Amino acid sequence: MTATLPTELRIRRAALRLLEKEGPEAVTMRRVARAIGVTAMAIYHHFESREALLKDVVDGEFGAFLDQLGTMPVFEAAEEQIVHALDAYLDYAFSRPEIFDYVFSKPRADARRYPQDFRARRSPTLNPLADAVAKWMDEGVIERDDPWEVTLEIWAHAHGYVALYRAGRFSLSPQDFKELVHRSMRRLFRGLQARPAAALAPPSSATKPSPSGTTQ
């Protein structure tokens, strides 16, 4: 069955298996070639370098991750949407840990960067969240601010938890860990919520304490 597949597809699949099991260091032209029964030089007919092969694999994984995002439920309330906004991100970290680390946690020359790539809407994974954040600001649900900076704050909040989890700092099951992140995201949302104008007003001069401690 495998031998009937196009060579380029077999190369991709072998590289993905190595990446998933052992991390990016394991993805060498020699090991990929050995896995599918060709010479290392034969791979160069399809991919000009190891980096090009890894980029191709990562691009395919981003596509799979976007498909996973599309299956997540949509919540009407902004609070629930933010609390669950990165559930697919957490699930991906649990199910594909080595690939998650390479895609989201390792330095890569072709990784998208802030501000140029994100503000130019080159991040299909974060664009929907940024659009939702801008909408909630327009509706007065959360404080008016820079939508992309707030989006990055939400992402960084969840990513920090995942990085600690991957480093072995939690003795929690994946489900218990996800519930912990949900509680934390809920606290984050409440800090972002728009406050009534009265709550933002400075103290009235009629009740402002004087330096001597008496009320003016």
CATH number for the domain harbouring residue 13: 1.10.10.60
pLDDT at 1: 42
15 and 77 part of one domain:
no
- The first and second tokens of residue 151, run together, are 């989006």
pLDDT at 212: 52
In the chain, the number of structural domains is 2
pLDDT at 71: 86
Quick check: pTM over 0.85? no
| Domain assignment present for 215 | no
| Domain assignment present for 202 | no
Among the listed residues 129, 131, 121, the one whose alpha carbon sits nearest the alpha carbon of residue 188? 129
Among the listed residues 166, 168, 129, 173, the one whose alpha carbon sits nearest the alpha carbon of residue 149? 129
133 and 78 part of one domain:
yes
What are the two backbone dihedrals, phi and then psi, of residue 82, each rounded to the nearest 5 degrees?
A: -70, -40
What are the two backbone dihedrals, phi and then psi, of residue 23, each rounded to the nearest 5 degrees?
A: 95, 175
42 and 132 part of one domain:
no
Please name every residue paired with 193 in a beta bridge, in sequence order, or none if there are none: 142
| Domain assignment present for 156 | yes
pLDDT at 63: 85
19 and 88 part of one domain:
no
Among the listed residues 18, 14, 96, the one whose alpha carbon sits nearest the alpha carbon of residue 47? 14
CATH number for the domain harbouring residue 187: 1.10.357.10
| Domain assignment present for 7 | yes
Domain extent, residue 143, equals: 72-195
pLDDT at 167: 94
42 and 76 part of one domain:
no
105 and 165 part of one domain:
yes
| Domain assignment present for 118 | yes
| Domain assignment present for 148 | yes
Helices 87-95 and 174-192: crossing angle in degrees, nearest 10, is 150
pLDDT at 9: 94
As a whole number of angstroms, the distance between CA 135 and CA 132 comes to: 5
As a whole number of angstroms, the distance between CA 130 and CA 13 comes to: 33
pLDDT in tens, the chain (216 residues): 445 689 999 999 999 999 999 999 999 999 999 999 999 999 999 999 999 999 999 888 888 888 888 888 888 899 999 999 999 999 999 999 999 999 899 898 889 999 999 999 999 989 999 999 999 999 999 999 999 999 999 999 999 999 999 999 999 999 999 999 999 999 999 999 998 864 555 555 544 444 454 444
101 and 44 part of one domain:
no
Among the listed residues 174, 192, 182, the one whose alpha carbon sits nearest the alpha carbon of residue 132? 192
46 and 77 part of one domain:
no
| Domain assignment present for 212 | no
| Domain assignment present for 28 | yes
| CA angle at 182 for the pair 23 and 103, rounded to the nearest 5° | 20
Length of the chain: 216
11 and 76 part of one domain:
no
